[in-house]
Amino acid sequence: MREVECYRLHLETDIAIAVMGSYTYARTCGLAPQQMSEVATTVSELATNVIKYASDGEVWIEHLLLGAREGVRVTVIDRGPGIADLDNALRDHFSTGQSLGLGLPGVQRLMDEFTIDTSSGGTRVAAIKWRA
Q: Is the pLDDT of residue 26 over 80?
A: yes
Are residues 107 and 125 in contact, defined by beta-carbon separation less than 8 angstroms? Answer: yes
With a cut of 60, say whether residue 127 has pLDDT above it: yes
| Greater pLDDT, 38 or 89 | 38
Q: Per-residue pLDDT for 20 more than 90?
A: yes
Residue-range domain boundaries for the chain? 4-130
Residues 57-62: what's their mean pLDDT?
Answer: 98
What is the reported pTM?
0.88
* Three-class DSSP category at 65: strand
Q: Whats the size of the chain, residue-wise?
A: 132
Fold of the CATH domain 4-130: Heat Shock Protein 90 (3.30.565)
pLDDT value at residue 84:
78
CA distances from 56 to 21, 66, 79, 97, 122 (A): 18, 31, 7, 17, 10
